[in-house]
Structure 1
């Protein structure tokens, strides 16, 4: 069997291919600078695909298997990604705006170059446990019951986010900004909050376990 080494447009990757069919398959999963509008990805085999510089507008990824995919410099707007499988999935410079991302375990995604932002997104019941999310941005997001256990959120911004029943345990919130967020409960004894910013209206969320009544 003839084996050849050929470059594919993956960054910093060479592949060993056994035949021309394998090469065509590898090429078919690479998508660059494309725009997808109101596409339903539920009927497609998306595993292992690479999307570079792509835009997704109004697309459906509900319960879709996105394992081993890579999204590089992509934008998702008004998309439904609820319960999507993102095991070993790469997110590099990815922006989510007005998207549904409920029940996603981001803790299982690839940590290589991990970088994403969320604005006006629904993220209820999602998991970010033990990820390094320094300077992470959540803007006007629903974060109820999201799991931040052991997450490094140094310098993160939570702007006007609802954090009701969100789990912060052994989390690093140093220099994080939660001034405009609400409904959070954060135990200073079990989280690092040095130089974190809170509003006076959020003090009750730091003192909840002492059953202190904070008068406004």
Structure 2
């Protein structure tokens, strides 16, 4: 199939489950209130694009390039960002639902640790998200719900969790040097010990 190059175009309220997005490269494009449910976005290159109010649940991200991409008010259930092309990967999430998604990469034992450094998650829901063996150095979790999200062998150095909640992070399994936590959030670092913490004193 012929690859296309599309620049500075707005796609508004398009149902890509009926008319699949053509493979190619998209630069400086906006996708507004579009439906990508279970779409095949594998191999497509996105550069400095914005997805606003879109449903991207269960899309195929195999070798997809996401460079300087902003997701806002999007539903993004069950995605595997570890399958994306790592070169130039930079994304941010604002008011998104990322439940059951994974940033841990594929099952390939040769694959290196997946790098998501300085990723910004803002006002988003991340229930049961898998961050196993990710590098999230200097990432920001601002007002995020991290219920049952998995952090194992994850690099969280200089990450900021001060305004987020419901996380459980084992300091013995993760690298958390200079990571930032609120006083109330410290309990999330001690879950494994099954102790009660009185934050009033």
Q: TM-score, normalization: structure 1? A: 0.86
Pick the aligned partner of 1:53 from 4, 25, 28. 28
For residue 163 of structure 1, what is the aligned residue in structure 2? 146
1:123 aligns with 2:98: yes
1:94–1:40: structure 2 CA closer, same or farther, 3 Å change rule? same
Q: 2:40 and 2:22 mapped to 1: Cα distance?
A: 6
For residue 71 of structure 1, what is the aligned residue in structure 2? 46
Higher relative contact order (CA 8 A, sep 6+): 2
Q: CA deviation at 1:187?
A: 0.2
Q: 1:70 and 1:126 mapped to 2: Cα distance?
A: 20
Q: TM-score, normalization: structure 2? A: 0.92
Q: 1:47 and 1:138 mapped to 2: Cα distance?
A: 29
Q: 1:107 and 1:44 mapped to 2: Cα distance?
A: 26
Q: Secondary structure at the match of 1:41?
A: coil
Detail structure 1 runs of 4+ shifted over 4 Å in the superposition. none
For residue 205 of structure 1, what is the aligned residue in structure 2? 188
Q: CA deviation at 1:212?
A: 1.0
Q: CA deviation at 1:178?
A: 0.1
Q: Does the aligned pair in 2 maintain the 1:55–1:74 contact within 8 Å?
A: yes
More helix by share: 1
Q: CA deviation at 1:45?
A: 3.8
Unaligned runs of 5+ in 1: 1-21
Q: 1:196 and 1:108 mapped to 2: Cα distance?
A: 27
Q: CA deviation at 1:50?
A: 1.4
Unaligned runs of 5+ in 2: 105-112
